[in-house]
Chains A and B, each alone.
Chain A
Amino acid sequence: MAEGHASPNYWLIWLYLFILTVVEIAVIFIPVAKLLIVIALVSLALVKATLVAAYFMHLRFEGRTLALIALTPLFLGALLIVILIPDHSAVPHKTVDSMKVAPAAGHR
């Protein structure tokens, strides 16, 4: 890899990252549904991470298997989020407001 590819224009990548950061900050002020903002922010973050990994970490110029190694934690992390869904959606957060009243009511 050392000589196998021409150096990408790193300052251009830097500019992209800078612009994307500014866009990220701008996105949270857009008056749309929270879900849309979340999707936009996560996608922007993933694009930035991809830029860093592909160009700064030279992943674009390496073998494909190395990219698979790098992507494994992303896949496992997504799996973890899916696994955790029942934990946080099942029990409390819809009813927590009424539960918060309970200690004040002298139940304990």
Chain B
Amino acid sequence: MKAWREVLACATCVGVPWVKADLGFFWSALFLMVVPVAVAGLIGGWLYSAYRRGRDGVAHGRATIPPLTSTRKESGQ
């Protein structure tokens, strides 16, 4: 019974002593906590850098800072 389960690396054997569920849960939970923060941070940082680029454009003679994103339809331009 045990050997068979071990070979298959049982998926639902949470309470079974030889499955190190604590290790899996800990690192998986940590990973899934970090990823959304990283994704949001990357997107936020990218938008901020876009804004910085627009601001630098003003320093180089542009009239105004263009809007970061458009609220209007863009297609057809």
Which residues of A does B touch, CB under 8 Å? 86-88, 90-93, 96, 99-100, 102-103, 107-108
Contact = CB atoms under 8 A, between A and B. Distances in A.
Contacts of B18: 103, 108
Interface string B1-42: 111000000101111111000000000000000000000000
Contacts of A103: 17-18
A99 B18 CA distance: 9
A100 B14 contact: no
What's the dominant secondary structure at chain A's contact region? helix
B12 A87 contact: yes
B16 A99 contact: yes
B2 A107 contact: yes
